[in-house]
């Protein structure tokens, strides 16, 4: 058995060295994921907006007429549908 | 902060990793190519960081200390004479930095002198093997509870294989004082081990 193999001070140093490398890798990965999530957060709404525009939605859809009952106000509808219109 | 990033392309694939530290330094001083310094950084940054952690006990502080120590190495590399091993030189700078920091910030100016002056009662000799064979996780705990000065001399002697002369140079003490300091540090480590693990 060599001198080094019985020297646990050296083993401790190797373990600490490996641990610090692992820590750096983990920190690097976390920082990458965090940057990517920021990029996604920034550009995702724009991307969906683009998809909506491509599929024909968006501003033009707002300008288009709504469904038949959508224009009826509460006031117009106060008498209820059961009363016939006065001639 | 130094921009120390590994440029593998510039290092090439011709077994540069097998070069000795001294050869890498020589190539660096000739070419001034940062990739050679990066190589030294990747070889020693982990070790320097772990020494800083064991002495300073603070991750952020140790990160900053590692950067500062490599900045010192970078600025003084041309002054490296090659009389001692490069690793010894790097560790000397590391211990100096950490000890200076502890002296400055914690105001423990006498972390290395209290035992040297205190001759007191004679201590029993502790065999090297008794310390070297302590199980790694237990050794870590023992080193964590002994005073920082004792921890530093034990690490210098048994982890970094520094000679008594080199340790005396780092701590600016006489060689006989360092021998006494190591003897006392070994004794403290052994008694701390006994206290922790009475079984």
Question: What is the topology classification, in CATH, of domain B18-109?
Answer: Rna Polymerase Sigma Factor; Chain: A (1.10.1740)
Put simply, the answer to whether B53 touches A12 (Cβ < 8 Å) is no
Searching chain A, which residue's CA lies closest to the CA of residue B51? A13
Mark out chain A residues that contact chain B at CB-CB < 8 A: 6-13, 15-21
A43: distance to nearest CA of chain B, Å?
A: 29
Q: Give tens-digit pLDDT for A34-56.
A: 888 888 888 888 888 888 888 88
Burial B45-61 (b: 16+ CB within 10 A, else e): bbbbbbbbbbbbeeeeb
pLDDT tens-digit series, residues B50-66: 899 889 988 899 999 99
As to burial, measured by CB atoms within 10 angstroms (0-12 exposed, 13-18 middle, 19+ buried), residue B179 is middle
For residue B83, the model assigns a pLDDT of 81
Q: Which of residues 49-88 of B touch A (CB under 8 A)?
A: 49-50, 53-54
Averaged pLDDT, B152-175:
91
Decide if pLDDT at A73 tops 90.
no
Cα–Cα–Cα angle for B136, A20, B187, rounded to 5 degrees? 35
Q: What is the pLDDT of residue B197?
A: 87
Residue A22's pLDDT is what? Answer: 82
Chain A, chain B: beta-carbon pairs less than 8 Å apart: 46
Which of the listed ranges A62-71, B33-42, B111-120 does the model predict with the highest average pLDDT? Answer: B33-42
Across the interface, whether the CB atoms of B133 and A13 are under 8 A apart is answered: no
- Helix%, strand%, coil% for chain B, nearest 5: 70, 0, 30
Q: For position B13, what pLDDT does the model report?
A: 46
pLDDT at A67: 61
Greater confidence (A59 vs A33) lies with: A33
| Residue B60 vs residue A61, higher pLDDT | B60
Question: Can you say whether the dihedral through the CA atoms of B152, B157, B158, B160 is positive or negative?
Answer: positive
Distance CA A69, CA A79 (A): 15
Considering only residues B155 and B115, tell me which one the structure prediction assigns the higher pLDDT.
B155
Q: Give the pLDDT band of residue B118 (cuts 50, 70, 90).
A: low
Spatial distance between the Cα atoms of A42 and A31, rounded to a whole number of angstroms: 17
- pLDDT score of B34: 87
Secondary-structure breakdown of chain A: helix, strand, coil percentages, each rounded to the nearest 5? 70, 0, 30
pLDDT beyond 50 at B8: no
pLDDT of residue A31 exceeding 50, the answer is yes
**B47 shares contact with chain A (CB less than 8 Å):** yes
pLDDT, position A61: 59
Across B31-35, B70-74, B109-113, the highest mean pLDDT is recorded for B70-74
B50 with A13: Cβ contact below 8 A: yes
Q: Which residues of B are less than 8 Å from A18 in CB distance?
A: 46
- Assigned CATH topology for domain B111-199: Arc Repressor Mutant, subunit A (1.10.10)
Residue B68 or residue A27, greater confidence = B68
Which of B46, B132, B139 minimises the CB distance to A21?
B46
Q: What is the 3-state secondary structure (H, E, C) of B16-69?
A: HHHCCHHHHHHHHHHHCCHHHHHHHHHHHHHHHHHHHHHHHCCHHHHHHHHHHH
Give me the residue from A7, A12, A20 closest to B49, CB to CB: A20
Count how many residues are written for chain A: 87
Among B11-15, B89-93, B122-126, the least confident range: B11-15
Q: Chain A contact for B121, CB < 8 A?
A: no
Respond yes or no on whether ipTM tops 0.90: no
Map out the domains of chain B as residue ranges: 18-109, 111-199
**What is the rounded distance in angstroms from the CA atom of residue B77 to the CA atom of residue B74?**
5
State the pLDDT at residue B138. 93
pLDDT at A57: 77
Note the pLDDT of residue B52: 92
Over residues B46-105, the pLDDT tens digits come to 889 989 988 998 889 999 999 999 999 999 998 888 888 899 899 999 999 998 898 888
Higher pLDDT, B148 or A57: B148
Residue holding tokens 């120390």? B4
Which residue of chain A has the CA closest to B46?
A17
């Amino acid at each position: 058995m060599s001198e080094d193999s019985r020297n646990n001070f050296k083993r401790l140093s190797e373990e600490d060295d490996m641990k610090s490398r692992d820590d750096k890798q983990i920190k690097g990965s976390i920082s990458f994921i965090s940057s990517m999530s920021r990029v996604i957060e920034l550009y995702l709404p724009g991307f969906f907006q683009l998809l909506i525009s491509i599929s024909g939605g968006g501003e033009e859809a707002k300008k288009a007429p709504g469904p038949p009952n959508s224009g009826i106000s509460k006031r117009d509808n106060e008498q209820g549908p059961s009363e016939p219109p006065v001639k | 902060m130094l921009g120390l990033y590994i440029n593998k392309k510039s290092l090439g694939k011709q077994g540069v990793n097998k070069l000795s530290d001294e050869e890498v330094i020589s190539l660096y001083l000739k070419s001034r190519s940062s990739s050679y310094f990066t190589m030294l950084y990747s070889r020693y940054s982990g070790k320097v960081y772990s020494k800083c952690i064991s002495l300073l006990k603070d991750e952020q502080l140790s990160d900053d200390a590692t950067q500062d120590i490599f900045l010192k190495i970078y600025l003084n590399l041309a002054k490296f004479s090659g009389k001692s091993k490069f690793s010894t030189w790097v560790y000397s700078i590391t211990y100096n930095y950490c000890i200076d920091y502890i002296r400055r910030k914690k105001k423990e100016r006498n972390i290395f002198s209290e035992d040297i002056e205190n001759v007191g009662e004679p201590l029993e000799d502790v065999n090297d093997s008794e310390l070297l064979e302590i199980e790694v996780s237990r050794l870590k705990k023992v080193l964590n509870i002994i005073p920082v000065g004792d921890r530093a001399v034990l690490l210098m002697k048994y982890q970094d294989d520094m000679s008594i002369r080199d340790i005396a140079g780092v701590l600016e003490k006489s060689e006989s004082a360092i021998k006494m300091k190591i003897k006392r540090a070994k004794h403290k480590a052994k008694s701390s081990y006994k206290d922790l693990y009475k079984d």
